Structure 1
Amino acid sequence: MASLIIIYLGWFIFSKPEKMWEMQYQFFVKGGEPTRYAIFCIRLTGIVLLLAGAMLTALYILEIISIVSSKM
């Protein structure tokens, strides 16, 4: 289920923003540190992915419910 992958990715990004910054800029910056704004933007991206994954999961569940209820 793709929505669960999106939720996991969002949680990882939200919980480890420094690691995500390091993965993104490891070949461009040596010994640098992310700014507070960069951490904020990375966490915001994680929250957006979490919400998108939750909405996709909810839509999937509602679709299953509507299919099951239409067969009854």
Structure 2
Amino acid sequence: MVEKKSKEEAFDCPVGAFFKELNGVFGKRSQFFDHMTQSKVEFLKGIRSLVDERIENLEKKRSTRAGKKMTNIKVE
């Protein structure tokens, strides 16, 4: 009979482990973590600006289509 492993293998993200270690050494109130928090905010604001720009482009495209009218062309 095949034995089942009782322990699951777990893989930790090296970057996450690095930040966890830093948090343990310096605490969350260090300047480093203040900068990291601010960078997360700036990153999300950048994403928001991209989304807002895309929404504006789609709305402009829709409004220009609404303004166009068909014209009949007589073909001989």
TM-score range, shorter chain: 0.5 to 0.7
- Mark the structure with the bigger radius of gyration: 2
More helix by share: 1
Q: Equivalent of 2:54, from 43, 57, 60?
A: 60
Q: Structure 1 runs of 4+ off > 4 angstroms?
A: none
Q: What root-mean-square deviation, in Å, do the aligned CA atoms of Structure 1 and Structure 2 show? A: 2.5
Question: 1:49 maps to which residue?
Answer: 43
Describe the shift of the 1:23–1:67 C-alpha distance in structure 2 as closer, same or farther (beyond 3 A): same
- Normalising by structure 2, report the TM-score: 0.52
Identity of aligned residues (%): 10
> Gapped runs of 5+ residues in structure 1?
1-21
Secondary structure at 2:25 match in 1: coil
Give the distance between the partners of 2:44 and 2:37, measured in 1 at CA.
Answer: 10
Q: Deviations over 1:17-53 (max 9, x none)?
A: xxxxx62736x97x63356111111001111011101
Question: 1:33 maps to which residue?
Answer: 26
Equivalent pairs, count:
49
Give the distance between the partners of 1:41 and 1:47, measured in 2 at CA.
Answer: 10
